[in-house]
Structure 1
Amino acid sequence: MSDKPKTERRGLGRGLSALMADVSPEPQVSENAPQKRLDQFIPVEMIYPNPDQPRRSFTADDLESLAASIREKGIIQPLILRENPRKTGTYEIVAGERRWRAAQMAQLHAVPALIREFTDSEVLEVAIIENIQRADLNPVEEAMGYRQLMDRFGHTQEKLGEALSKSRSHIANLLRLLQLPEEVLEMLRDGRLSAGHARALITTDDPVALARLVVVNGLSVRETERLAKQPQSKKETKPRVSTEKDADSKALEGDLSANLGMKVRIDHKPGQEAGQLAIQYDTLEQLDELCRILTSMPKGNPNY
């Protein structure tokens, strides 16, 4: 009998819990307990990354930090590999590409690894699970990981929550973010918006416009939620300008009001040369007096 059907049945029936056993850190054992080394050291040049790896971004700073740790302490958790179906005699990374890249930066010639038998579907599933477990994933990457596990492997939100120790509401809220336009998702990816901001935008008529407003004005999540609940016609379309006047402007307003006997308001934008000065008169006599003062002012007199 061919082994292929057996392999496929095993893969389809293993489930998330069994797969996670291969990507979770190994349990600690007593120093006095007999230890059996199941991992082996594989030369880095015999290892190839998974071409279907969902995570495409590996920042230089992140890798350098890990490389520094590897230089000092070595690789604590072995890579998970399988025989490379594309090149005989080599291995393909199932989990641990980031460690493999950092190991090369640390000039290691070989890395500890566990060799496992995985189908193509299981390789992708394990790669997604490992990425979801990472602490530095942005909300979009995490949500897309959950969506892939549900769409490609038929996992429910409940099963994902149980296997990954996440609440169902956490998974559901992240999945809802994927309803947002790509421009908003990009702001979420690069940290200009938080997941809290993004959730508030989901039900708005124009999430892109509101997202831009949030970013430009540095609105808090609470402010974003209040703004999202307002009718579209009442929402701000321009950046907010602080109404708090500096002490010098307030003092000048007081002096001019006292000298003219009329209310004076100065609107001066901080950091700019231009502004507005408004004088309020209550009677026509005050208007006449104001006109007299303005027309009698000598041109170029620095005292006015």
Structure 2
Amino acid sequence: MAKATKKQALGRGLSALLKDPQNDIKSAEDKNADKLVGHIVELDLASIEVNPFQPRTSFNEESLKELASSIRELGVIQPITVRKLDFNKYQLVSGERRYRASKLVGLETIPSYIRIANDQESLEMALVENIQRQDLDPIEIALSYQRLMDEISLTQEQLSERVGKNRSTIANYLRLLKLDPIIQTGMRDGFMSMGHGRALINVDDPQMQLDIYEKVLERSLSVRDTEKLVREMQEGKTGKSKTASRTPSVAPVYKKGVKEFSEYLGARVDVKVSKKGSGKLTIPFNSEEDFNRIKKLIQGED
């Protein structure tokens, strides 16, 4: 019991420290910064603004109400994380659901971890922490990966280290962003899984993508059935027989090599071989950053 009282007193002391203009802490080097950063402090909800870098763009209303009910009964068990902007002014880094649910309940304060970070660090913390959540849809994850690469200037290898995912996994998510926006919306709304999306990525024709997407929804096709439908529609695209429309068969030695190339480069590599034995490799890339990444891998650079 004594420990709980001490903890509460510490929280009140930190709150008072934060509301004293003479002790306004703006950087990790400021006096008393060590007493603030890394500690749990009760902050006024009114002093916290939503993070514009938040990757989540939609919140399930029913889920929020359930969380609000839990907070009403038990309080906020896991503190949110904020960064200090100005005197008595903070911005969410993570925990927006807890923040929203607390406002629904009518709480005036919320337990918070305080960080001192610039915009880039805030973006990275928000994206990396949110990527770890289990309830983000595949497109939200893909967009978060893309933003980390674009706005923090991370390569796929660096991103892999930051989020603890294989590079091939990250590449698979990023490829989803090539899908038609209508299909991406369908994935975000839960009408189709990531497995369905990966099957449709192999369709280059945007209209054919949409045609297959409609059939997937109409027939409630499984991922395997979708992959089969993709093959059938691609084979019948030219109007010729399956035998005539099929590209020349590729020897197993080439297939094995292409698979190894694809895994190493983190990109789908295509091969075409003529009857005389000559051929060409095609390596797609998503951006200048992706092109430079592939170039370094081919050149054997670190």
Class of the TM-score when normalised by the shorter of the 2 chains:
0.5 to 0.7
CA distance in 1, matches of 2:38, 2:176: 43
Alignment of 1:92-171 (within 5 A): 92-171=91-170
Q: 2:15 matched to which residue of 1?
A: none
Partners of 1:185 and 1:110 in 2: CA distance: 38
Amino acid at match of 2:67: L
**Residue identity opposite 2:223 in structure 1:** V
Please give the alpha-carbon distance, in whole angstroms, between the structure 2 residues aligned to 1:68 and 1:167. Answer: 38
Q: What amino acid sits opposite 2:78 in the alignment? A: Q
| Percent identity of equivalent pairs | 44
**Secondary structure at the residue paired with 2:69?**
helix
* Distance (whole Å) between structure 2 residues aligned to residue 187 and residue 56 of structure 1: 15
State the 1:140 CA deviation.
0.4
Equivalent positions of 1:17-56 (< 5 A) are 38-56=39-57
Q: Give the C-alpha shift of residue 53 in structure 1.
A: 2.6
Q: For 2:178, what is the secondary structure of its paired residue?
A: coil
CA RMSD of aligned residues (A): 2.3
TM-score (norm 1): 0.61
Instruction: State the alpha-carbon separation in 2 of the partners of residues 39 and 54 from structure 1.
Output: 24
Give the superposition deviation at 1:233: 6.6
2:128, 2:162 within 8 Å by CA — same for their partners in 1?
no
Match of 1:186 in 2: 185
1:152 deviates by: 1.2
Within 2, Cα distance between the matches of 1:117 and 1:225? 48
Find the counterpart in structure 1 of residue 63 from structure 2: 62
Where 1:118 maps in the other structure, the secondary structure is coil
How many pairs were matched up? 200
Q: Which moved more, 1:56-65 or 1:68-77?
A: 68-77
Query: For residues 40 and 136 of structure 2, what CA distance do their matches in structure 1 show?
Result: 28
- Which amino acid counterpart does residue 200 of structure 2 have in structure 1? L
Could you tell me how far apart the structure 2 residues matched to 1:60 and 1:89 are? Answer: 29
Amino acid at match of 2:165: K
What one-letter code is carried by the residue in structure 2 that aligns with 1:39? I
Question: What residue is the counterpart of 2:74 in the other structure?
Answer: 73
2: CA distance, partners of 1:98 / 1:126: 16
**CA–CA distance in 1 between the matches of 2:74 and 2:171?**
38
- For 1:285-296, what aligned pairs fall within 5 Å after superposition? none
Give the secondary structure class of the aligned counterpart of 2:174.
Answer: helix
Alignment equivalent of 2:227, drawn from 222, 225, 241:
225
Task: Tell whether the 8 Å contact from 2:80 to 2:111 is kept in structure 1 after alignment.
Answer: yes
Task: Write out per-residue CA displacement over residues 135-192 of structure 1, whole angstroms, 9 at most, x where no aligned residue.
Answer: 1111100111011111111222233333323222221111111111111111111111
Distance 2:95 2:222 in 1: 37
Counterpart residue type for residue 124 of structure 2: E
Matched AA of 1:221 = V
What is the TM-score with the length of structure 2 in the denominator?
Answer: 0.61
Corresponding residue for 1:214?
216
Letter in 2 for 1:38: H
Q: What one-letter code is carried by the residue in structure 2 that aligns with 1:214?
A: V
Give the 3 Å change call, closer, same or farther, for CA 211–37 of structure 1 in structure 2: closer
Corresponding residue number in structure 1 for 2:202? 203
Q: Is the 8 A contact 2:83 2:114 kept in 1?
A: yes
| Partner Cα separation in structure 2 for residue 168 and residue 198 of structure 1 | 18
Letter in 2 for 1:131: N
**SS at 1:137's partner residue?**
coil
Stretch of structure 1 that moved more, 122-131 or 183-192: 122-131
TM-superposition CA deviations, 1:7-46 (whole Å, max 9, x none) = 8xxxxxxxxxxxxxxxxxxxxxxxxxxxx98211011112
Alpha-carbon separation, structure 2, partners of 1:161 and 1:52: 20
**Larger radius of gyration between Structure 1 and Structure 2:** 1
> If each structure's helix is expressed as a fraction of its own residues, which one has the higher value?
2
- 1:161 partner letter: S
* Runs of 4+ off more than 3 Å: 231-235
What is the deviation of 1:231?
4.4
C-alpha change, 1:37 and 1:184, in structure 2 (3 Å) is closer
Contact 2:55 2:140 survives alignment (8 Å): no
| Contiguous gaps of at least 5 residues in structure 2 | 1-26, 28-36, 238-302
